[in-house]
Amino acid sequence: MTYVVTDNCIKCKYMDCVEVCPVDCFYEGENMLVIHPDECIDCGVCEPECPAEAIKPDTEGDLESWLKLNADYAKTWPNITQKKDAPSDAKQWDGVSGKLEAHFSPNPGSGD
């Protein structure tokens, strides 16, 4: 198994998760992060750190498409290990539904 980043990270991207990961397996897109499923050691430390509750264990069910998205973009987006400032409008987007369809960006972030 692995942990995966899901919809509510999009445009929230608070980044509290990256600093606690013992194996630095977060990768940064323009407006969300993903976890590399082959690098994640399933420790679960990041899950309660996410203020947006966007991180889930892939055993939770119905997360296959998110697992694929995490795996695909972890290959091309840059690694991120240090927290940056959240977007100024992050609070406004927290909890908005359907962000994948409307707001997901395949562009990479800037990484560390």
Considering the complex, what minimum distance in angstroms separates the CB of residue 88 from ligand SF4? 14
Considering the complex, what minimum distance in angstroms separates the CB of residue 11 from ligand SF4? 9
Considering the complex, what minimum distance in angstroms separates the CB of residue 58 from ligand SF4? 10
Q: How many whole angstroms separate alpha carbon 14 and alpha carbon 49?
A: 10
**Closest C-alpha to 5, from 69, 78, 60, 48:** 69
Considering the complex, what minimum distance in angstroms separates the CB of residue 111 from ligand SF4? 13
Residues that bind ligand SF4 (CB under 6 A): 3, 5, 9, 12-17, 20-21, 23, 25, 33, 35, 40-46, 50, 52, 54-55
C-beta of residue 45 within 8 angstroms of C-beta of residue 21:
yes
Per-position DSSP letters for 43-104, written without gaps between them: --SSGGG-TT--EEEGGGSS-HHHHHHHHHHHTTSPB--S--PPPTTHHHHTT-S-HHHHH-
